């Protein structure tokens, strides 16, 4: 490890009711993964009211991590008539502003699960709900209801990396076994994104930016869940740390 300044990565928060009032929260496994496996300093980002405030926040960071969440993105944000909750409109607002602010200055944007979907929507893409009986036969991308966390994150399938993409280079293998804990998935790909990995049913499992001046790396699975057990997830976190360090060095 070099003597360069340790990078600071902003971790988006969700809004939940705690003890009868609104609270900005993030699950500790995301924050801990940034510190332990990306070797960066995590800072939790609360909701701000304006894009200028989001820009002021991003100016002081070396990257943004958009985490997974129990909530879905409101369908109005990607042009759909109806969608399934639970929703978190303040999280939708915050993610859109952080993505815009980071992209305006070329700072890295990282996404996990909902975070991948937020990036796709921010760039004009759409989402589909895999429970809506679409013609395409989807894999089961979520465990059955009522299972433990261990059982939920043990559910998964294989993903195939697209040769020549950043994730393929990071992982170093054409196929990986991933956990799968989501109902929504990318429908139409957002402008400026390229697919890095797909499941056997075609669901997009990883994306990056096609513009080298706009560093984006996002996955649909959950690399923050016990990453020490999976080399490709450790590699993902190392890549996040390296990208943030490169930004800090500038």
- Active-site annotation holds for 113: yes
C-alpha closest to that of 85 among 204, 220, 152, 183: 183
Q: Residues of 141-158 as b/e, b for ≥16 C-beta within 10 angstroms?
A: bebeeeeeeeebbeebbe
Q: Of 14, 118, 141, 224, which is the active-site residue?
A: 224
Is 224 a catalytic site residue?
yes
Q: Which of 14, 113, 141, 182 is catalytic?
A: 113
Catalytic residue among 14, 118, 205, 222: 222
Which ranges constitute the DSSP H helices of the chain? 28-36, 51-59, 89-104, 114-122, 149-154, 166-171, 231-249
Catalytic residue check, 74: no
Find tokens 């200028």 and name the residue.
52
Cα distance between residue 92 and residue 87, in whole Å: 9
The residues carrying an active-site annotation are 113, 222, 224
């Amino acid at each position: 490890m070099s003597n360069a300044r340790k990078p600071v990565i902003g971790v988006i928060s969700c809004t939940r009711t705690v003890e009868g009032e609104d609270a900005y929260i993030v699950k500790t496994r995301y924050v801990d993964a940034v510190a332990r496996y990306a070797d960066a300093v995590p800072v939790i980002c609360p909701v701000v009211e304006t894009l200028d405030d989001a820009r002021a926040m991003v100016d002081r960071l070396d990257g943004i991590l958009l985490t997974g969440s129990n909530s879905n993105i409101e369908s109005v944000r990607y042009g759909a008539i109806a969608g399934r909750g639970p929703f978190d409109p303040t999280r939708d607002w915050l993610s859109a502003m952080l993505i815009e602010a980071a992209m305006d200055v070329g700072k890295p944007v990282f996404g996990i699960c909902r975070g991948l979907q937020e990036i796709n929507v921010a760039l004009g893409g759409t989402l589909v709900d895999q429970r809506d009986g679409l013609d395409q036969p989807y894999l089961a991308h979520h465990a059955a209801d009522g299972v433990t966390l261990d059982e939920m994150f043990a559910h998964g399938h294989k993903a195939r990396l697209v040769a020549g993409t950043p994730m393929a280079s990071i992982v170093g293998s054409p196929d990986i076994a991933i956990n799968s804990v989501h109902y929504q998935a990318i429908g139409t790909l957002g402008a400026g994104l390229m697919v890095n990995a797909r499941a056997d049913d075609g669901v997009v499992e990883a994306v990056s930016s096609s513009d080298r001046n706009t560093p984006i790396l996002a996955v649909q699975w959950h690399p923050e869940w016990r990453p020490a057990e999976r080399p490709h997830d450790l590699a993902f976190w190392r890549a996040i740390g390296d990208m943030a360090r490169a930004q800090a060095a500038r």
